[in-house]
């Protein structure tokens, strides 16, 4: 009996690991609409944003599960990824597919409760990620654009999905920032994070060089910073939020970007943006301070 309970507990832990709940931090992008749309005090919109957050958590976990099914052979040859639930054999392929299907259906159901637009956006997220897992992740540059599109769809779900008009400057800033994170991830992988033979884990890495990625990272970081800076001084921003003080949040954004570059180039990080954020107190502090100051200025 005790052995069976331990076995059940181990299986449950394996499925939780398969879902990668720590990656759900990324789904916080859906709250951009209620923050910049002055809807934090609107219980209905805030509740819908929470529902969308949960929908993306379910759909993202479904995508991770199916991606691990597709990559299980390559993962077994990887020094770190071989410990993943499917590659290690703790979760079977059939069980993972059923798990992913149930999660995907739950995500679509929750999105449908919010709006048809939200349902279409979450569906598009699933389709794009399925194409990514099916082979597009091996196409250099396009692979990073697909990763960035996932973040953009979260932003659109939290704005258009809630009938909140998105700021074009914020969309541009979000797009450039997520491209920056994507190319930084590839830079970390090509620098050795993927193991002794990184190209064997992701064929697109064969097409990248450190110099090329460094240029792409620089362009995207500068683009994100400039786009956010222009947003803070746009007269439309003044009219929408009733303040011209958002420019004072710019140093926090700049610090976060530059700190991430420090982590990438001096500490050998950047392979997983979510983990870098969760374990670097400087990045956490920059994000929390930016959020607190932004809320204080536009509340």
Residue 270 pLDDT:
79
**Distance, CA of 290 to CA of 293 (rounded, Å):** 5
Predicted pLDDT of residue 148: 92
Mean pLDDT by runs of 10 across the 299 residues of the chain is: 59 90 91 88 93 96 91 83 87 93 97 96 95 88 94 94 89 93 91 48 78 96 96 92 94 96 88 87 95 91
Per-residue pLDDT tens over the stretch 238-274? 998 999 999 999 999 999 999 999 999 988 887 888 8
The whole-number pLDDT of residue 199 equals 42
Q: State the pLDDT at residue 152.
A: 93
Torsional sign, CA 103, 106, 111, 112: positive
pTM: 0.85
Q: Tell me the torsion sign for CA atoms 124, 130, 133, 134.
A: negative
Position 229 scores a pLDDT of 95
In this prediction, residue 4 carries a pLDDT of 52
Q: What pLDDT, on a 0 to 100 scale, did the predictor assign at position 218?
A: 96
Assess contact for 188 and 271: CB atoms under 8 A.
yes
Domain boundaries, the chain: 13-166, 167-299
* Residue 220: predicted pLDDT: 97
pLDDT of res. 7:
63
Helix (H, G, I), strand (E, B) or coil at 64: helix
Residue 167 DSSP one-character state: P
Confidence (pLDDT) at 6: 56
Q: Taking phi first (over 0 means left), then psi (-120 to 50 degrees means alpha), and beta for anything else, what does residue 105 get?
A: alpha
Homologous superfamily of the 13-166 domain (CATH): UbiA prenyltransferase (1.10.357.140)
Of the candidates 190, 157, 169, the one whose C-alpha atom is nearest the C-alpha of residue 253 is: 169
DSSP conformation letters of 72-108: HHHHHTSTTGGGSTTTTTSS-HHHHHHHHHHHHHHHH
């Amino acid at each position: 009996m005790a052995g069976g309970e331990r076995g059940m507990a181990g299986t449950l832990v394996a499925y939780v690991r398969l879902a990668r709940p720590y990656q759900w931090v990324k789904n916080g992008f859906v709250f951009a609409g209620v923050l910049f749309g002055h809807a934090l005090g609107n219980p209905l919109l805030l509740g819908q944003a929470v529902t969308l957050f949960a929908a993306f958590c379910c759909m993202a976990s479904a995508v991770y599960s199916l991606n691990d099914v597709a990559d299980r052979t390559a993962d077994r040859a990887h020094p770190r990824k071989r410990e993943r639930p499917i590659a290690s054999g703790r979760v079977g392929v059939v069980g993972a597919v059923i798990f992913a299907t149930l999660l995907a259906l739950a995500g679509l159901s929750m999105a449908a409760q919010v709006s048809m637009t939200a349902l279409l956006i979450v569906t598009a997220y699933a389709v794009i990620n399925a194409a990514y897992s099916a082979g597009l992740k091996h196409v250099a540059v396009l692979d990073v654009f697909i990763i960035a599109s996932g973040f953009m769809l979260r932003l659109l779900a939290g704005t258009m999905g809630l009938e909140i008009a998105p700021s074009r400057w914020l969309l541009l800033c979000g797009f450039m920032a997520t491209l920056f994170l994507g190319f930084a991830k590839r830079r970390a992988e090509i620098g050795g994070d993927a193991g002794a033979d990184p190209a064997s884990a992701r064929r697109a890495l064969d097409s990248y060089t450190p110099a090329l990625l460094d240029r792409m990272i620089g362009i995207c970081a500068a683009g994100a910073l400039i786009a956010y800076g222009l947003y803070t001084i746009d007269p439309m921003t003044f009219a929408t939020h009733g303040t011209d003080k958002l420019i004072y949040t710019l140093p926090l954004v700049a610090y976060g970007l530059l700190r991430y570059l420090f982590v990438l180039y001096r500490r050998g990080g950047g392979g997983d943006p979510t983990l870098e954020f969760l374990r670097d107190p400087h990045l956490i502090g920059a994000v929390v301070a930016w959020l607190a100051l932004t809320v204080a200025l536009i509340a």
